[in-house]
Structure 1
Amino acid sequence: MYSKRLLLSTISLLLLLSVSAGAQKDPIGPATKLPDHPRILLLKGEEGRIRQTIAADKTWNNVHQAMLGECDKLLAVAPVERIQIGRRLLDKSREALRRVFLLAYAWRLTGQQQYLQRVEKELLAVSAFSDWNPSHFLDVAEMTMAVGIGYDWLYNDLSPASRSAIKAAILKKGIEPSLDPKFNSWLTATHNWNQVCNAGMTYGAMAIYEDQPELSRKIINRAIDSIELPMEDYAPDGAYPEGYSYWGYGTSFNVMFISAIEKAFGSDFGLSKKPGFLKTAAYMTNMTGPTGNSFNYSDAGTGSGLHPAMFWFASKLNDPSVLWVERGRLLSENGSKYDKDRLLPAIMLWNNGIRVNDIPEPKARIWVGDGKSPVALMRTSWTDPSAIFVGLKAGSPSVNHAHMDVGSFVMEADGVRWAMDFGMQDYNSLESKGVKLWGKEQDSQRWQVYRYNNYVHNTLTVNNGLQNVEGNARITRSTNNPQFLSATTDLTELYKGPLHKASRGIAIVDQNHIVVRDEVETPGKEATVRWTLLTPADVTITGKNRAELTKDGKKLILQVQEPANVTLKTWSTDPPHEYDAPNPGTTLVGFEVTMPANTKGTLTVLLLPEKAAGQTTQAVRPLAQWPK
């Protein structure tokens, strides 16, 4: 009996110590004060600062007026309906967030009743949904953020009945499902799901804090702890593992989260100081070429856009030069182009009153970032629309959303993207046809999708095989000499077996042409190496080792320097499977070489814009002799 009592006492003590330790760890405690509504992102009375910015800068006034114009269009539009596509309700959640954020912004900045009435109508409609589709929790997260913003920003003007219905939906359809282990595996994820879902749940918890203080603290503390996992992937330099589009998703919601808790609690609890996180602004700035198109590797779309989160980063860094690309978009495009961005109102909260015309260009012409998906981004100018731009990707196909695109690159000159990437294919177009898209094993069906394997990327294919899923490539060196901007990567692990060694280097030489050099070594058997470049240009083979690419009245020469006896050819980009997306207006150009066993070989290709095509080029040195 005594030993049993001792055991129970010991267990009770351990539980007490555990709870005590947890309480010490949780930054939001019972004594923590929270502002009255509105408390999320924009406190009461802070609208005046936005009005001053609008009055002082024509560009910001244009953005503001574009948002009000979109709100006026929404007045006559029926609320979002619960129509699920495949396993996702996500498009409806995103549209609800867009509408609520815009309309609530319009109400707070103008005080016009029609905006209040319309956003209340939207909130009641989505609150009446049977659920917010917790089996695909991103849908719940974005809807909870939408309803949390609307409830908080309209709190003092909603009818008691509306307030009750909306509050119940946040709790029952948003927060409570996040406590169910069936739906919350994202808590331990290291990718965008974690960032988006924790942000959404925190917005819901902050909105109903006074009614559910203990639960709300639990949700917010859980998020502060959990969101550190994906934030670790920005180290050391800020290169976002999932690429451009998912930076726009995961990072933007991460900033929405940090901005909200910092505004409400006066602290971000050290999150913005996580290694590499603030550096990611430079990554994003450099990811866009002179054409305005992004380096769309991995599951990225082919487009690009305005990123409100960049203004938050600029303010934190006190470095407006990271806004150079955003400046260009704001000055060259009508504000209404961006009113489909569901986070657009945040740009008015984060711009810190900066005058758009005063944003300076960045100083560096090359940016290199290590991490899960290392990249090197080079250009000859930030202001010349005809500048040369090259982006090189390393990393591994095993990274979340990655393709077999290691060693691939994009290239622009004279306002044309000559070397391109298809980017992603719409997920539902594949899933609806039974494609098992998310397997990452070597023999997964994912790698049979035409756009996802190495066959159609600007990299090497050996013995007509796939890159090694578990292989990983680093950027091994780089050069910031204006006459020789360069980066090299070791691709050996990607071709382990068929090749003994493989390295690639890409350089912008003399600010007027590109060199792509591959150095490969075969093992004890011969290997056939294929070099390919995917282009939207018309391709004319003008010699065994020379091709002329033409597009939009511009010209680029592709010339193989080594080996001397290659024969250039083109391949169709018609995909092999019924489930693959069509690829009109594109061509693969390149060559194949068969290398004997136990030999070393070099593949050297020059990409010569028209103004450099007639100039004499120097012999390309071995990669080991490229300067550091």
Structure 2
Amino acid sequence: MKKLTTHPRLLAGEEELARLRRAPEMPAMAQAHKDLVRNARRYLRKRKLTWGGKRPDPSGLGTAREMIDRYIALATAFRKTGDQRLRDAALEYIQELDALKAGRLLAQKRMQGFWLSDGEECAGIAIVYDWLYDFLSEAQRATLVDLCRKRLFAGGLKQCRKGGQWWFGKRFSNWNAVCAGGLGMLCLAMYDDCPEARRILPHVEKSLAEFMTPLRQTDGGWPEGLGYWIYGMTYAFGYMLSWERSTGEVHPLMKLPATKKTLNFPFDFFPNGKPAGFGDNDRFFACPFHYLAATRFKLERVKGAIDKHMADAGRGMGGLMGGPSIACVLHPGTASQQIKTERQVAKVRKGLGWGLIADSMPEPRLYLSIRGGSTTHEHAHLDLLSFRVLVGKEWLIENGRNGPYLHPTAFSQHRFKINELNATYKNTLLINGVGPLPGSATDKEQAVRGQGCYGVRMDASSAMAVQDCFCARLALMVDDSALVVIDRVQTPDNSRVEARMHSYHDVAFGRTGAMIRGETESLRVTYASLEPAGLFRATTIPATPTHPSATMMRWSPLSVHTETVLVTLLTPGRPKAAAAIARDGRNFLVTVTIKGVTREIRVRPSLMLV
């Protein structure tokens, strides 16, 4: 690599750092600037951390993150105010964390090797070293370089390479991006001052290539879910954006179309500011790396969506790598106004398999997300064919919520014995009491459109425990005002088929339907079946007893059959509604009536629209 540009060169230059001394126009960012200074001054006075004691932190990851956030905030506030006490405190926090890892957390370090805590620490030190470079004495710089050489660079040389840590070059793993990306940022920061940095960078490139290139297979989607998309991409983009600023060149991975596409991915599953994904960590919020990457790719609508989310939430950005602090540098302080509205949305992320249906986006009145794809990825659940329904801003139908990680079971061979992670508490289909299997995937996912309706069809035949069966689900939006879910299962022998749904709100049961009442919204559930069926009530039993239970709605034929066809009509509000299904030659005729208006939907045995 040729000689790098002068400091500062990670994420921002002096022009962006100058924003710290200007008053933002956007209220959320103005508040973020105030919080930056207030928090930094508080960290000067009060050193006690929130982790430890009554908030156990056996791995030390929470403690490390809190200290990293503090020294990035202190360094950023120093650039804003010029108060040298803030600079000095940032350096002290860095040394305190280093001492902690050499002391109380040494056993964890030996067990994990170079792990998440180290990648995050690398990125934090890199930002402080780079943004404060011209304000540090030679002795202060030497102290930081020496600290990094002894532990972080030594670990990186040994473990960020083929045959090193398991995460090296691991596809679809947030660990890869956090560890390699964070280490790469430190290499860029200390490239001129530490020969190890120059030796490690080629290995960082190899590892991150295996993180980013698989996005071509998923249309920019991320199978670990929204929360882990944020986590991994924070450090992957943190490195790539810093590399471009440091070299003045375009990073090869930034040339991939999927790199640009992934910046749009979260907003398909963030209706009305509500995360709508699947898996362990279904969280999403505005992050500075996302905004900076959108700026880099000139994605004004992504910037507009991020700004709108901040405005609606009434607060600035979040995230690791000092998110709330560095946002004051990376955001210009003025809001982007470009918001794209889509109507009658039905789409599937190819390769990922996740689908969605909405009357409009990003602010739908009625929205459904549906899970296809594979169960083999880290943090995935056995939730194929499951769906979630948002009415306005309320989730009225959800999968059973998983609580905090139950270590080590949640990441062991017994992971899917936890009911919140297997099909037991998912809004899916069960055949003879068994849902989608571990290691399974949907056979096909596709968006469909017909007269007065649009939606998503999924085939999960090979994912089920019964061999040579057919199992498919068709979810449709009808007249932009109601959802219809049609399920068909065919098995070689008589089987019991059940469609489950869950809600954390009040559910009033009827004979063939239910009324779900939320805090501000309600949803009428109307069932139909080709054969006589019944609706049965149950309650989930969370693995963590202090977590809330959900009401389970179980719709199932009263006897076993070789063919089962079920219909679920979901109508917002409390209108009169009816649903029916009958054979129509070789096909099926589904009839739904809402407020006296009847709509007929004809489907083939494959559940394709006629």
TM norm structure 1: 0.84
Alpha-carbon distance in structure 2 between the residues aligned to 1:87 and 1:372:
37
Alpha-carbon distance in structure 1 between the residues aligned to 2:351 and 2:322:
28
Superposed counterparts of 1:302-381, under 5 Å:
303-335=283-315, 338=318, 342-351=322-331, 353=332, 355-356=334-335, 358-363=337-342, 366=345, 368-370=347-349, 373-381=352-360
Residue aligning to 2:582: none
User: Partner letter of residue 141 of structure 1?
Assistant: G
1:547 aligns with 2:514: yes
Offset from partner CA, 1:93-119 (integer Å, 9 cap, x none)? 222222222222222233222321321
Alpha-carbon distance in structure 2 between the residues aligned to 1:170 and 1:81:
26
1:591 aligns with 2:555: yes
Alpha-carbon distance in structure 2 between the residues aligned to 1:71 and 1:38:
21
Contact 1:545–1:560 (Cα < 8 Å) also in 2: yes
Q: 1:226 aligns with which of 191, 197, 207?
A: 207
1:193 aligns with 2:164: no
Which SS does the other structure have where 1:129 is aligned?
helix
Aligned residues: 577
Q: CA deviation at 1:446?
A: 0.6
Q: CA deviation at 1:194?
A: 0.6
Gap runs ≥5 in structure 1: 1-27
Superposed counterparts of 1:61-80, under 5 Å:
61-78=30-47
Alpha-carbon distance in structure 1 between the residues aligned to 2:121 and 2:566:
51
Q: CA deviation at 1:65?
A: 2.2
Q: CA deviation at 1:358?
A: 1.4
Alpha-carbon distance in structure 1 between the residues aligned to 2:59 and 2:9:
30
Q: CA deviation at 1:449?
A: 0.9
Alpha-carbon distance in structure 2 between the residues aligned to 1:437 and 1:486:
34
Residue aligning to 1:605: 568
Taking only the aligned residue pairs, the percentage that are identical comes to 20
Alpha-carbon distance in structure 1 between the residues aligned to 2:42 and 2:73:
11
1:287 aligns with 2:269: yes
Which SS does the other structure have where 1:75 is aligned?
helix
Which SS does the other structure have where 2:37 is aligned?
helix
Alpha-carbon distance in structure 2 between the residues aligned to 1:463 and 1:309:
47
Alpha-carbon distance in structure 1 between the residues aligned to 2:38 and 2:334:
22
Contact 2:76–2:326 (Cα < 8 Å) also in 1: no
Residue aligning to 1:7: none
| Aligned CA distance change for structure 1 residues 102 and 268 (closer, same or farther; 3 Å) | farther
Residue aligning to 1:23: none
Residue aligning to 2:4: 34
Q: CA deviation at 1:564?
A: 5.2
Which SS does the other structure have where 2:271 is aligned?
coil
| Aligned CA distance change for structure 1 residues 345 and 258 (closer, same or farther; 3 Å) | farther
Which SS does the other structure have where 2:147 is aligned?
helix
Q: CA deviation at 1:602?
A: 1.1
Q: CA deviation at 1:128?
A: 2.4
Offset from partner CA, 1:140-160 (integer Å, 9 cap, x none)? 111121122222222333345
Alpha-carbon distance in structure 2 between the residues aligned to 1:87 and 1:336:
30
Q: CA deviation at 1:417?
A: 0.7
Residue aligning to 2:466: 497
Q: 1:437 aligns with which of 410, 417, 426?
A: 410
1:464 aligns with 2:445: no
Residue aligning to 2:590: none
Residue aligning to 2:501: 533
| Aligned CA distance change for structure 1 residues 450 and 80 (closer, same or farther; 3 Å) | same
Which SS does the other structure have where 1:561 is aligned?
strand
Residue aligning to 1:117: 88
| Aligned CA distance change for structure 1 residues 530 and 596 (closer, same or farther; 3 Å) | closer
Q: CA deviation at 1:584?
A: 1.5
Q: CA deviation at 1:315?
A: 2.0
Contact 1:127–1:166 (Cα < 8 Å) also in 2: no
Alpha-carbon distance in structure 1 between the residues aligned to 2:50 and 2:34:
27
Q: CA deviation at 1:203?
A: 1.9
Q: CA deviation at 1:251?
A: 1.6
Alpha-carbon distance in structure 2 between the residues aligned to 1:81 and 1:541:
45
Residue aligning to 1:573: 540
User: Partner letter of residue 208 of structure 2?
Assistant: I
User: Partner letter of residue 353 of structure 2?
Assistant: P
Gap runs ≥5 in structure 2: 577-593
Q: 1:180 aligns with which of 158, 161, 183?
A: 158
Alpha-carbon distance in structure 2 between the residues aligned to 1:339 and 1:177:
25
Contact 1:547–1:557 (Cα < 8 Å) also in 2: yes
| Aligned CA distance change for structure 1 residues 538 and 159 (closer, same or farther; 3 Å) | same
Which SS does the other structure have where 1:209 is aligned?
coil
User: Partner letter of residue 131 of structure 2?
Assistant: W
TM norm structure 2: 0.87
Contact 2:231–2:320 (Cα < 8 Å) also in 1: no
1:89 aligns with 2:60: yes
Contact 2:496–2:559 (Cα < 8 Å) also in 1: yes
Which SS does the other structure have where 1:417 is aligned?
strand
Alpha-carbon distance in structure 1 between the residues aligned to 2:130 and 2:373:
42
User: Partner letter of residue 378 of structure 1?
Assistant: I
Q: CA deviation at 1:451?
A: 0.9
Contact 2:169–2:209 (Cα < 8 Å) also in 1: no
Contact 1:283–1:369 (Cα < 8 Å) also in 2: no
Alpha-carbon distance in structure 1 between the residues aligned to 2:50 and 2:3:
37
Contact 1:97–1:342 (Cα < 8 Å) also in 2: yes
